[in-house]
Amino acid sequence: MCPSAENVESQVNGVNGHTNGANGINGNHSGYTGIHTRENPHAQSRNPYQPVGDFLSNISRFQIIESTLREGEQFANAFFDTEKKIEIAKALDDFGADYIELTSPAASEQSRLDCEAICKLGLKSKILTHIRCHMDDARIAVETGVDGVDVVIGTSSFLREHSHGKDMTYIKNTAIEVIEFVKSKGIEIRFSSEDSFRSDLVDLLSLYSAVDKVGVNRVGIADTVGCASPRQVYDLVRTLRGVVNCEIEIHLHNDTGCAIANAYCALEAGATHVDTSVLGIGERNGITPLGGLMARMIAADRDYVKSKYKLEKIKDIEDLVAEAVQVNIPFNNYITGFCAFTHKAGIHAKAILNNPSTYEIIDPADFGMTRYVHFASRLTGWNAIKSRAQQLNIEMTDAQYKDCTAKVKALADIRPIAIDDADSIIHAFHRNILHGQNKPILLPNMSDKEKKLLAEKEEEIADEPEKRALDQQVAEEADMERTIKKARTAQVTA
């Protein structure tokens, strides 16, 4: 189970004494030092890879149809009672979701009651429900108080033969009947094909054109089995954009790992709405994850995304849903994963401390998160040790930080070390400096074998200052020689 934000905050406070608030904790980062988040300069600078402007593109004017309470309810572990559904709906509304999509009220009596209950909350988000292309479902749906109805029917040969058994003529006639009925009730209507990317293109375009003519608000494309590639999505959406005048919604499953890329390409090609779910939960591997889409879109148009959505709410929403469906948030999850803004290698740490944009395309502060530098490892660099020492109110020279780093790395070469181990070394090293001593720096729980190995490494470390001094001398002599040569060349030229 995922720990709560409060529990994780106390864990990090107990270890680092450093936090950025409940939303700023990316999990228990024992052995990592949190860096106070600075503004990431890259976020305001021009992105050289930003897509060229295109009159069809909706990268800067998309809307989200959040489907955790519909598609997400199809996730293997999902069971949302009325109270939990209301809690999730309110959280999504607070985040700023344009639409919240609910399970069909025709699915069960409780689904109908839940739909009515959420409609009565008075949320800012528009409430949709998702139904089969059938008049019986439509009559039930319009009585619940929803703002819109999403209608779907399978159009691929697989579904027409093995699911509902209807031909394209029946599908078109029924779609028009349902659309006209819903429109007569004064609420939004979307019509979507199911399994769009395995459907005949001529059939699809003919069907979409027919429903567009009777005034549907949106048409939907669904990659129901997750088979589509970004290029296929772009081509189909762009083709459809030339056929219909209404808005275009995209629903993308993630079976082959392309859901986010496909959503982005759909928006570039002219789609207007993207279906998402929290943590991507849904049937099988689920659909486009809300947090992952936000990560992609903020890199494309930060101002638009931040102006519409409360990004700092994503972690709380993911924790809420993860607990409800009894899963852990993956370590590499977009934005909120344990490792999302964690830096370990020494070169990375130095650059991050100097300018976060060097190794971050996304500013964690935009999502209320904290970046971390892992300093308790053999890969640590002296800049990370310096940063940690200064958090501990220990000031030394750069040369002393480098010597201290060598001792941390020596111990980390022998065994995995924790933050307390690294802090003990830093404190012991500093005490030696203050008292003019050179006492061995040992940890209380070290074995005899570890002590022996450390002693051997200490002998190697003892030679390092002399080596650095010699290297510095050689470098200075080389600089002097180059300076003299330039001066002589200048005299000859003159």
- Walk me through the domains of the chain, giving residue ranges and CATH numbers: 5-43+334-374 (4.10.430.20), 55-325 (3.20.20.70), 385-462 (no CATH)
The residue type at 448: D
HSE (side-chain half, CA atoms, 13 Å) at 148: 19
Q: What is the torsion angle, in degrees rounded to the nearest 10, for the CA atoms of residue 236, residue 239, residue 241 and residue 243?
A: -130
Residue showing tokens 């002693």: 455
- What's residue 220's pLDDT? 97
- What's residue 34's pLDDT? 60
Token pair belonging to 169? 């003529």
- What's residue 7's pLDDT? 36
Q: What is the pTM of this model?
A: 0.76
Do residues 286 and 253 make contact, with C-beta atoms less than 8 angstroms apart?
A: yes
- What's residue 33's pLDDT? 58
**Residues with Cβ < 8 Å from 199, sequence gap 6 or more?**
155, 156, 157, 193
Catalytic residue among 348, 427, 430, 435: 348
How far CA 471 is from CA of 383, 479, 483, in Å, comes to 20, 12, 18
3-class SS string, the chain: CCCCHHHHHHHHHHHHCCCCCHHHCCCCCCCEEEECCCCCHHHHCCCCCCCCCCCCCCCCCCEEEECCCCCHHHCCCCCCCHHHHHHHHHHHHHHCCCEEEECCCCCCHHHHHHHHHHHCCCCCCEEEEEEECCHHHHHHHHCCCCCEEEEEEECCHHHHHHCCCCCHHHHHHHHHHHHHHHHHCCCEEEEEEECHHHCCHHHHHHHHHHHHHCCCCEEEEEECCCCCCHHHHHHHHHHHHCCCCCEEEEEEECCCCCHHHHHHHHHHHCCCEEEEEHHHCCCCCCECEHHHHHHHHHHHCHHHHHHHCCHHHHHHHHHHHHHHHCCCCCCCCCCCCCCCCEECCHHHHHHHHHCHHHCCCCCHHHHCCCEEEECCCCCCCHHHHHHHHHHCCCCCCHHHHHHHHHHHHHHHHHCCCCHHHHHHHHHHHHHHHHCCCCCCCCCCCCCHHHHHHHHHHHHHHHCHHHHHHHHHHHHHHHHHHHHHHHHHHHHHHC
Do residues 327 and 77 make contact, with C-beta atoms less than 8 angstroms apart?
A: yes
- C-alpha angle 459-463-469 in degrees, rounded to nearest 5: 165
Task: Give the full edge-to-edge strand order of the sheet including 342-343.
Answer: 32-35, 371-374, 342-343
Do residues 8 and 316 make contact, with C-beta atoms less than 8 angstroms apart?
A: no
Q: Is 251 a catalytic residue?
A: no
Per-residue pLDDT of the chain (494 residues; tens, 9 = 90+): 333 333 333 333 333 333 333 334 566 665 555 655 455 555 555 566 566 667 889 999 999 999 999 999 999 999 999 999 999 999 999 999 999 999 999 999 999 999 999 999 999 999 999 999 999 999 999 999 999 999 999 999 888 889 888 899 999 999 999 999 999 999 999 999 999 999 999 999 999 999 999 999 999 999 999 999 999 999 999 999 999 999 999 999 999 999 999 999 999 999 999 999 999 999 999 999 999 999 999 999 999 999 999 999 999 999 999 999 999 998 889 999 877 877 766 566 667 666 777 778 888 889 998 777 666 667 777 777 787 777 778 898 888 888 888 888 887 787 777 777 777 788 888 888 888 877 777 777 778 777 777 777 777 766 665 555 665 666 677 777 877 777 777 777 66
Cα(73)–Cα(455) distance, integer angstroms = 59
- What's residue 20's pLDDT? 35
Rg (CA), the chain: 29
Cα(484)–Cα(461) distance, integer angstroms = 35
